Amino acid sequence: MATARIVARTTGQKQKGYNTNKFHRFKKIDFSAHKKDIAPAKSTISPESIHIPKINLYILPMLNYVFLILAIVAEATGTTLLKMSEQFTKLIPSIASLVCYVASLYLLSLCLRTIPIGIAYATWSALGIALITISGIFFFKQMPDLGAIVGLILIVSGVAVLNLFSKMDIH
């Protein structure tokens, strides 16, 4: 490693607020004296020296389920904003709704790496219906009747059976 030589110099200039009879010392680092000691860096990158972390195959399917849940939330948010946009007459909810739908489709496409499309879409639509119903209750005061509640229970139960007992696999 190159070291720098510290050079002290004195000045006799008259400076405001200083006694002119005294010399003042300033330190200056001189790097030019040791430029020959500095060698250019050699490239030591080789294919063996690059560390690529291995993907844990047990985490990857779980990550895809996280993408699926985020897709469901984005779709439900987009649908809620669609209702708030009042047929695309309000600019901010309209743009936000479109952004949520695009994000939802992108996240759904990411989860399809390991989740079969039938299971992913069934889960996406069923949980989306449930979230939209909850959103309708809170934001729009749309209370479901007994038939709607029974239908939602059947839809969510069907998706639970599909996820728990299906042996579908991805090609």
Give the Cα separation of 159 and 165 in Å (integer): 10
User: Is residue 58 pLDDT above 90, yes or no?
Assistant: no
Segment 127-139 shows an average pLDDT of 95
Give the Cα separation of 105 and 85 in Å (integer): 20
pLDDT value for 163: 86
Selected residue with higher pLDDT from 100 and 53: 100
Give the Cα separation of 121 and 99 in Å (integer): 20
**Beta carbons within 10 angstroms of residue 128's beta carbon:** 19
pLDDT value for 128: 95
Please list the alpha-helical segments (H only) found in the chain: 59-84, 91-111, 117-140, 146-165
Give the Cα separation of 158 and 130 in Å (integer): 13
pLDDT value for 168: 79
Side-chain-side CA neighbours of 65 within 13 Å: the count stands at 7
pLDDT value for 57: 54
pLDDT value for 31: 54
pLDDT value for 166: 83
| Range of weakest confidence among 2-11, 87-96, 153-162 | 2-11
Q: How many residues does the chain have?
A: 171
